[in-house]
Amino acid sequence: MKNILVLCTGNSCRSQMAHGYLNHFLDNRSVNVYSAGIETHGLNPGALAIMKEDGIDISHHTSNHVDEYEDVNFDYIITVCDHANENCPFIPSKNALRLHHNFFDPSKVTGTEEEKHVAFLKAREEIKGYFKDFVEEYLEFDFLLKEN
Nearest Cα residue to 66 out of 96, 46, 45: 96
Q: Please tell me the distance from the alpha carbon of residue 71 to that of residue 93, in angstroms, as a whole number.
A: 9
Q: Please tell me the distance from the alpha carbon of residue 53 to that of residue 51, in angstroms, as a whole number.
A: 5
Annotation says 13 is catalytic: no
Q: Please tell me the distance from the alpha carbon of residue 41 to that of residue 3, in angstroms, as a whole number.
A: 23
Of the listed 6, 8, 47, 135, which one is catalytic?
Answer: 8
Where is 131: in which H helix or E strand?
helix 113-134
Of the listed 6, 7, 78, 88, which one is catalytic?
Answer: 88
Of the listed 33, 47, 80, 81, which one is catalytic?
Answer: 81
- Strand ranges of the sheet holding 2-8, from the earlier edge strand across to the other edge: 31-37, 2-8, 76-79, 97-100
Active site residues: 8, 81, 88
